[in-house]
Structure 1
Amino acid sequence: MRDEFDCDVLVVGAGPTGLCTALMLEQHGVRVRIVDRKPGPVEQSRAAIVHARTLECLDRLGVADAAVARGVPITDVAIHSSGRHVGNMPLAGEGAADQTRFPYALALEQFETERILGEALDAEIEWGTEVVGLTDTGSGVDVETRSGMITARWLVGADGASSTIRKLLGQEFDGETYEQSGMLADVTLDVELGLQGMRLNLTPGGFVGILPLKSGRYRLFGVVPPYLHKAPAGDVTHESYAPLDHDVLQRWFDDYFKVDAKLEEIEWASMFRFHSRLASKFRVGNAFLAGDAAHIHNPAGGQGLNLGVGDAVNLAWKLSQVVKGEAPEWLLDTYEEERRPIARTVLKRTDLGFKLETGDSAIAVWMRTHVATRLVGVVSRLAPVRRMFFHMFSQLWIGYRGSRAVGRAVGQLKAGARAPYAPGLTHAPGYQVLLFSVPAVQFEGPVTTHLIPASDVATYRAYQVDGPRLVLIRPDGHVAAVAETAAGITAFLDTVLVRVQVRR
Structure 2
Amino acid sequence: MARHDVLIAGAGPTGLVLALWLTRQGLSVRIVDRGEGVAATSRAMVVHARTLELYRQLDLAEQVIADGRPNPALNLWARGRRRVRVSFGSAGADLTPFPFVLVYPQDRHERLLAARLEAMGVRVERKTELVGFEDRGDHVAARLHGPDGVEVTEAVSWLAGCDGAHSTVRHGTGTGFEGGTYPRVFYVADVEVSGPAVNGEVNVAFQGSDFVLLFATGDEGQGRLIGTVRDDRAGAEERLGFDDVSHVAIGSLGLRIRKVNWFSTYRVHHRVTGHFRRGRVFLLGDAAHVHSPAGGQGMNTGIGDAVNLAWKLAAVRRGEAPDALLGSYEAERMAFARTLVATTDRAFTLATAEGTLADLVRTRVVPVLTGTAFRLAPLREMMFRLVSQTLVNYRGGPLSAGRAGQVEGGDRLPWVREMDNHEPLNDIAWQVHVYGPGRAPGCGTGATGRLPLHVFDWGPGPARAGLAQDAAYLVRPDSHVALADAEGSPEALRGYLGARGITFAG
Q: Is TM (by shorter chain) over 0.5?
A: yes
Aligned with residue 205 of structure 2, among 198, 201, 204: 201
Tell whether the 8 Å contact from 2:79 to 2:363 is kept in structure 1 after alignment. no
Q: Is 1:33 aligned to residue 25 of structure 2? A: no
> 19-28 vs 359-368, which deviates more?
359-368
How much does 1:143 deviate? 0.9
Which amino acid in 2 is paired with 1:199?
N
Question: Match for residue 229 of structure 2?
Answer: 224
Q: State the Cα deviation string for residues 318-341 of structure 1 (Å, max 9, x = none).
A: 011111111110000000000101
How do 1:312-461 residues align onto structure 2 when only pairs under 5 Å count?
A: 312-422=306-416, 423-424=420-421, 425-427=423-425, 428-436=427-435, 437=437, 438-441=439-442, 442-443=444-445, 448-454=451-457, 458-459=461-462
What secondary structure does 1:127 align onto?
A: coil
How do 1:42-61 residues align onto structure 2 when only pairs under 5 Å count?
A: 42-61=39-58
Tell whether the 8 Å contact from 1:443 to 1:500 is kept in structure 2 after alignment. no
How much does 1:105 deviate? 1.3
- Closer, same or farther: CA 343–126 of 1 in aligned 2, 3 Å: same
Question: Match for residue 239 of structure 1?
Answer: none
Which amino acid in 1 is paired with 2:200?
Q
Question: Match for residue 133 of structure 1?
Answer: 132
Tell whether the 8 Å contact from 2:320 to 2:504 is kept in structure 1 after alignment. no
Question: Match for residue 145 of structure 1?
Answer: 144
Question: Match for residue 237 of structure 1?
Answer: none
Which amino acid in 1 is paired with 2:465?
A
Question: Match for residue 236 of structure 1?
Answer: none
- Closer, same or farther: CA 370–190 of 1 in aligned 2, 3 Å: closer
Tell whether the 8 Å contact from 2:430 to 2:475 is kept in structure 1 after alignment. yes
Q: Is 1:79 aligned to residue 76 of structure 2? A: yes
In structure 1, runs of 5+ residues without a counterpart are 233-241
- Closer, same or farther: CA 230–440 of 1 in aligned 2, 3 Å: farther
Aligned with residue 24 of structure 1, among 8, 12, 21: 21
Tell whether the 8 Å contact from 2:196 to 2:253 is kept in structure 1 after alignment. no
> 401-410 vs 173-182, which deviates more?
401-410
> 209-218 vs 441-450, which deviates more?
441-450
Aligned with residue 480 of structure 1, among 464, 474, 482: 482
How much does 1:411 deviate? 4.3
In structure 2, runs of 5+ residues without a counterpart are 147-151
Distance in 1, Cα, partners of 2:199 & 2:154: 47
What secondary structure does 2:381 align onto?
A: helix
> 145-154 vs 135-144, which deviates more?
145-154
Aligned with residue 495 of structure 1, among 476, 483, 499: 499
What secondary structure does 2:415 align onto?
A: coil
Q: Is 1:67 aligned to residue 60 of structure 2? A: no
Tell whether the 8 Å contact from 2:217 to 2:223 is kept in structure 1 after alignment. yes
Question: Match for residue 112 of structure 1?
Answer: 108
Question: Match for residue 469 of structure 1?
Answer: 471
Tell whether the 8 Å contact from 1:133 to 1:145 is kept in structure 2 after alignment. yes
- Closer, same or farther: CA 281–153 of 1 in aligned 2, 3 Å: same
- Closer, same or farther: CA 314–120 of 1 in aligned 2, 3 Å: same
Question: Match for residue 124 of structure 1?
Answer: 123
Question: Match for residue 248 of structure 1?
Answer: 244
- Closer, same or farther: CA 409–203 of 1 in aligned 2, 3 Å: same
Tell whether the 8 Å contact from 2:211 to 2:249 is kept in structure 1 after alignment. no
Tell whether the 8 Å contact from 2:50 to 2:389 is kept in structure 1 after alignment. yes
Q: State the Cα deviation string for residues 435-491 of structure 1 (Å, max 9, x = none).
A: 34124344466964233243666346535223x322110011110112322121111
Question: Match for residue 6 of structure 2?
Answer: 9
What secondary structure does 1:333 align onto?
A: helix
- Closer, same or farther: CA 383–469 of 1 in aligned 2, 3 Å: closer
Distance in 2, Cα, partners of 1:375 & 1:471: 37
How much does 1:367 deviate? 2.7
What secondary structure does 2:402 align onto?
A: coil
- Closer, same or farther: CA 426–244 of 1 in aligned 2, 3 Å: farther
- Closer, same or farther: CA 190–77 of 1 in aligned 2, 3 Å: closer
Distance in 1, Cα, partners of 2:82 & 2:456: 49
Question: Match for residue 171 of structure 1?
Answer: 175
How much does 1:389 deviate? 1.4
Distance in 1, Cα, partners of 2:59 & 2:345: 33
Q: State the Cα deviation string for residues 73-113 of structure 1 (Å, max 9, x = none).
A: 2232111123211112354453x211111111111111122
Distance in 2, Cα, partners of 1:116 & 1:81: 37
Tell whether the 8 Å contact from 2:14 to 2:299 is kept in structure 1 after alignment. yes
Question: Match for residue 149 of structure 2?
Answer: none
Tell whether the 8 Å contact from 1:490 to 1:501 is kept in structure 2 after alignment. no
Distance in 2, Cα, partners of 1:447 & 1:294: 36
How do 1:259-298 residues align onto structure 2 when only pairs under 5 Å count?
A: 259-298=253-292
Tell whether the 8 Å contact from 1:9 to 1:156 is kept in structure 2 after alignment. yes
What secondary structure does 1:185 align onto?
A: strand
Instruction: Kindly report the root-mean-square deviation, in angstroms, between the aligned alpha carbons of the 2 structures.
Output: 2.3
Tell whether the 8 Å contact from 1:138 to 1:286 is kept in structure 2 after alignment. yes
How much does 1:408 deviate? 2.8
Tell whether the 8 Å contact from 1:36 to 1:126 is kept in structure 2 after alignment. yes
How much does 1:60 deviate? 1.6
> 195-204 vs 414-423, which deviates more?
195-204
Which amino acid in 1 is paired with 2:142?
V
Distance in 2, Cα, partners of 1:247 & 1:454: 60
Which amino acid in 2 is paired with 1:359?
A
How much does 1:259 deviate? 3.9
What secondary structure does 2:294 align onto?
A: coil
Tell whether the 8 Å contact from 2:75 to 2:202 is kept in structure 1 after alignment. yes
How much does 1:262 deviate? 3.5
What secondary structure does 1:69 align onto?
A: helix
Q: State the Cα deviation string for residues 255-297 of structure 1 (Å, max 9, x = none).
A: 6342444433322211100110000100011100000100000
What secondary structure does 2:296 align onto?
A: coil
Which amino acid in 1 is paired with 2:457?
A
Which amino acid in 1 is paired with 2:38?
P
> 381-390 vs 347-356, which deviates more?
381-390
Tell whether the 8 Å contact from 1:230 to 1:271 is kept in structure 2 after alignment. no
Scaled by the length of structure 2, the TM-score of the pair is 0.90
Distance in 1, Cα, partners of 2:70 & 2:388: 13
Distance in 2, Cα, partners of 1:377 & 1:415: 33
What secondary structure does 1:227 align onto?
A: helix
Q: Percent identity?
A: 35
How do 1:229-240 residues align onto structure 2 when only pairs under 5 Å count?
A: 229-230=234-235, 232=237
Distance in 2, Cα, partners of 1:353 & 1:92: 23
- Closer, same or farther: CA 140–454 of 1 in aligned 2, 3 Å: same
> 182-191 vs 285-294, which deviates more?
182-191
Aligned residues: 486
